[in-house]
Amino acid sequence: MATVLDIAKRNPNAAPVAVSDAARAAGFIEKKAELNVAAGAAPGGASLIGLTRDQLKDSLSAIGVPERELKMRVAQLWHWIYFRGAKNFAEMTNMGKELRAKLAAAYTLARPQVVSEQVSKDGTRKWLIRMPSTGPLDKGAEIECVYIPEVDRGTLCVSSQVGCTLTCSFCHTGTQRLVRNLTSAEIVAQLIVARDSIGDWPDATPPEGAFVPNDGGRFVSNIVFMGMGEPLYNIGDVIAAIDVMSDGEGLTLSRRRITVSTSGVVPQMERLGAQANTMLAISLHAVRDELRDELVPINRKYDIKQLLDACRAYPGLSNARRITFEYVMLKGVNDSDADARELVRLLKGIPAKINLIPFNPWPGSKYECSDWERIERFSEIVYRAGYASPVRTPRGRDILAACGQLKSETEKLRARARMMAEQGIGAEGVYALGDGE
Ligand code: SAH
Ligand code: SF4
């Protein structure tokens, strides 16, 4: 049984309908999005959590900190917020009382609201997080974030958008209505919330009984952009968030331990590699255009050839920095021996890892997960061609925390999670990516 801590009741405000069933049936690839509605630098009274150095500088300027002091003050704030995990300005004792009072009058260090936290019996944690309202019409977007602890690493799966404008036919997130981009601050805030919750700050201790890596390493050592949304449709904020997360004076995550997963937004892949310098994962899922057009409809814009050409050109690609190809196992759809052989043929010459993901069913989904013997056979072909092709062990199955299951409708989720757990329907994760595999 999952432990469900209800920290607040869900705000039931319905999001605007952005895609109709008719549009979906007619094969529209993308839903209408309301993007970038959230603000950049913190306005008065807003939280400084998640802000970039430039945004912090603007926030300090706005309360009258003189230009000559800005660099030093930003560095101090940075240390307190991102290295120490400070929750109030009073503890920032290396700043003068007057400045602390000014900061406290204008800003907060408030985290976004944790609506619920679920802890799986395997230690996986899932948070439903409500972002502050961005205006009179926004009641606060809800997103999910998942933490997967293992012996030698702790992986946080973050969201980049609320919902997703794409409509991959096997993905639950693709059915969600509300779509907006998260700001870089909102992306970073997911890491802060996770570290608060598992006691991952210099002076904090993990909650009793918490599962955390036990090799003496960081509790959150890896980040995967595999929650809700298509990160490359929000690339500016994703890159800004990665800059904050990997900053050596603060959160200090290695870029090699950050993996961005894309369904194949070909024109942005180069920029991601050049500017963010992270690991890349590709949601391939099919080896023929006809099938991929159906499963991952962005394929109609950028087909398999274009996608793989962009992979070959990905900056920094080498045998030590391989691209992960994700392949969801759908019974009778993409799981034949011929598919496996074609997969190997297509990837020839690209430094690659292959991740086979057992399909995670969700209510209303039209696919079934391939049988275990089929997955093994598929994996054997891939293995013989020289790929490890790990099939991920189930994580968070009792709390519906696996790939493609994220959809922020708390009440429904709880009922579904119970139902799926009762019926013994499993869910596997593919989160353990990045350096150290
Ligand atoms: N939008 C990005 C990142 C989020 S999805 C992308 O598509 O890559 C993270 C991974 O989970 C993707 O490979 C996605 O295809 C996969 N996924 C989605 N729904 C799934 C499901 N029901 N079962 C298994 N994997 C799923
Ligand atoms: Fe969006 Fe990725 Fe789901 Fe496709 S698989 S609908 S791109 S979140």
Look up residue 427 and give its two tokens. 């869910």
Distances (CA, A) of 212 to 154, 199, 249, 365: 7, 10, 23, 33
Query: Hey, is 150 helix, strand or coil?
Result: coil
Task: Give the position, in ligand 2's atom list, of the atom nearest the Cα of 296.
Answer: 4
Percent of the chain with pLDDT over 70: 79
Find the helix or strand (DSSP H, E) in which 113 lies.
strand 113-119
**204 against 294, higher pLDDT:** 294
Q: Is 145 a catalytic residue?
A: no
User: Residue 261: which residues within 8 A CB-CB, separation 6 or more?
Assistant: 224, 225, 226, 231, 280, 281, 282, 283, 324, 326
Say what the pLDDT of residue 435 is: 44
* pLDDT tens, position by position, 344-379: 999 999 999 999 999 998 888 999 999 999 999 999
**Residues 150 and 226 placed together within one structural domain of the fold:** yes
Q: How confident is the model at residue 405 (pLDDT cuts 50, 70, 90)?
A: low
d(CA 141, CA 143): 7
With a 6 A CB cut-off, is 262 part of the ligand 1 pocket? yes
Q: Does the pLDDT value for residue 420 go beyond 90? A: no
Q: Is 376 a catalytic residue?
A: no
- Residue 14 and residue 411 in contact, taking contact as beta carbons nearer than 8 Å: no
With a 6 A CB cut-off, is 328 part of the ligand 1 pocket? yes
Distances (CA, A) of 6 to 113, 115, 124: 12, 7, 17
Q: Calculate the dihedral angle through the C-alpha atoms of 344, 347, 350, 353, rounding to the nearest 10 degrees.
A: -60
**Residues 201 and 92 placed together within one structural domain of the fold:** no
Residue with the nearest Cα to atom 8 of ligand 2? Answer: 229
With a 6 A CB cut-off, is 325 part of the ligand 1 pocket? no
**Residues 164 and 66 placed together within one structural domain of the fold:** no
**Residues 96 and 124 placed together within one structural domain of the fold:** no
**434 against 265, higher pLDDT:** 265
**Residues 63 and 146 placed together within one structural domain of the fold:** no
**162 against 423, higher pLDDT:** 162
Say what the pLDDT of residue 1 is: 28
Q: Does the pLDDT value for residue 430 go beyond 80? A: no
**Residues 139 and 82 placed together within one structural domain of the fold:** no
Q: Does the pLDDT value for residue 295 go beyond 90? A: yes
Say what the pLDDT of residue 403 is: 52
Instruction: From 78, 106, 134, give the residue that closes a domain.
Output: 106
With a 6 A CB cut-off, is 263 part of the ligand 1 pocket? yes
User: Residue 37: which residues within 8 A CB-CB, separation 6 or more?
Assistant: 134, 135, 138, 180
**Residues 78 and 146 placed together within one structural domain of the fold:** no
Task: Give the position, in ligand 1's atom list, of the atom nearest the Cα of 229.
Answer: 1
- Residue 266 and residue 302 in contact, taking contact as beta carbons nearer than 8 Å: yes
**Residues 180 and 324 placed together within one structural domain of the fold:** yes
**Residues 82 and 212 placed together within one structural domain of the fold:** no
* pLDDT tens, position by position, 160-219: 999 999 999 999 888 887 788 999 999 999 999 999 999 999 988 888 777 777 777 789
Residue with the nearest Cα to atom 4 of ligand 2? Answer: 168
| Domain tally, the chain | 2
Residue 424 CA from chain centroid, whole number: 26
Say what the pLDDT of residue 392 is: 64
Query: Hey, is 345 helix, strand or coil?
Result: helix
Q: Which residue has the tokens 């509300």?
A: 178
Look up residue 318 and give its two tokens. 């080498």
Q: How confident is the model at residue 281 (pLDDT cuts 50, 70, 90)?
A: very high
Task: State the CATH number of the domain containing residue 72.
Answer: 1.10.150
Inside any domain, residue 14: no
Find the helix or strand (DSSP H, E) in which 119 lies.
strand 113-119
Range of the domain at 82: 53-106
User: Residue 90: which residues within 8 A CB-CB, separation 6 or more?
Assistant: 100, 104
User: Residue 320: which residues within 8 A CB-CB, separation 6 or more?
Assistant: none
Look up residue 129 and give its two tokens. 């997080």
Inside any domain, residue 1: no
Mean pLDDT of the chain: 82
Distance 165 CA to ligand 2 centre (A): 8
**Residues 89 and 166 placed together within one structural domain of the fold:** no
Ligand 2 binding pocket, CB closer than 6 Å: 164, 166-168, 171, 173-174, 229-230, 263, 283
Sheet harboring 125-130: ordered strands across?
A: 3-6, 113-119, 125-130, 142-149, 154-157, 222-225, 258-262, 279-283, 323-329, 352-358
Which is nearest to 408 in space by CA: 221, 227, 199, 196? 227
pTM: 0.85
Say what the pLDDT of residue 217 is: 74
Mean pLDDT of 307-329: 95
* pLDDT tens, position by position, 107-146: 999 999 999 999 988 889 999 999 888 778 777 889 999 9
Say what the pLDDT of residue 393 is: 59
Inside any domain, residue 44: no
Annotated active-site residue in 30, 117, 144, 150: 144
Task: Give the position, in ligand 2's atom list, of the atom nearest the Cα of 165.
Answer: 1
Which of the ligands is closest to the CA of residue 165? 2
Q: Does the pLDDT value for residue 271 go beyond 60? A: yes
Amino acid at 377: R
Mean pLDDT of 332-352: 97
Look up residue 335 and give its two tokens. 């799981």
Q: How confident is the model at residue 407 (pLDDT cuts 50, 70, 90)?
A: low
Task: Give the position, in ligand 2's atom list, of the atom nearest the Cα of 230.
Answer: 7
Q: Does the pLDDT value for residue 415 go beyond 60? A: no
Which of the ligands is closest to the CA of residue 404? 1
With a 6 A CB cut-off, is 433 part of the ligand 1 pocket? no
